[in-house]
Copies of this chain bind each other. A is one copy, B any other.
Amino acid sequence: MNQIKVQKEPFDMTTIQEELRLASPGIGAVVTFVGQMRDINEGDTVSTMTLEHYPGMTERALQAIVDEADERWDLMGIRVVHRVGPLQPLDPIVLVAVASAHRGEAFQACEFIIDYLKTRAPFWKKEQTPDGERWVDARHSDDQAESRWKQ
């Protein structure tokens, strides 16, 4: 019912969303988040980005996040796909899609998953800028986004 993928290849958003939304005629809402590479970060032009990850742990971390979402909300399917390796501006980096009977739960679960992914899944971005390569720093705003879900 839920699927997690970490892959170098581009993913096909259409196939993922269609397969998810057609899984049951009881599904009333599908919320999809797509994060894509921006050509600018902290004021600098970024021409390429390379995503490193921790094979094995990545899948486990994503599975734990998806399982927690499934426990918290009444959902009818989750898809998480994250790319690794070299990326260009406008390339989709991550897709999180959640299906449920009603929209409130799909919205909350989708945002929860991407918020947790941002702080708990072992991915690291390295940017190529005109001044050379640099590792992207973790954002305080991502910690804040995660902490909203702790009640």
Of A51-59, A63-71, A100-108, A125-133, the stretch lying at the interface with chain B is: A100-108
> How many copies altogether?
2
Whether A30 lies near B22 (C-beta < 8 A) is no
Of A2-10, A36-44, A78-86, the stretch lying at the interface with chain B is: A36-44
Would you give the shortest CB distance from A125 to chain B, in whole angstroms?
A: 12
Instruction: Describe A's contact surface by its main secondary structure.
Output: mixed
Partner of A34, one of B30, B33, B92, B111: B30
The verdict on A13 contacting chain B, using a C-beta distance below 8 Å, is yes
A contacts with B, residue count (CB < 8 A): 35
A3→B106 CA distance, assembly (Å): 24
Partner of A21, one of B34, B39, B40, B110: B34
Would you give the shortest CB distance from A147 to chain B, in whole angstroms?
A: 13
Whether A101 lies near B38 (C-beta < 8 A) is yes
Chain A, residues 6-26, CB within 8 Å of chain B (1/0): the string is 000000011001000110011
A90→B22 CA distance, assembly (Å): 6
The verdict on A27 contacting chain B, using a C-beta distance below 8 Å, is yes
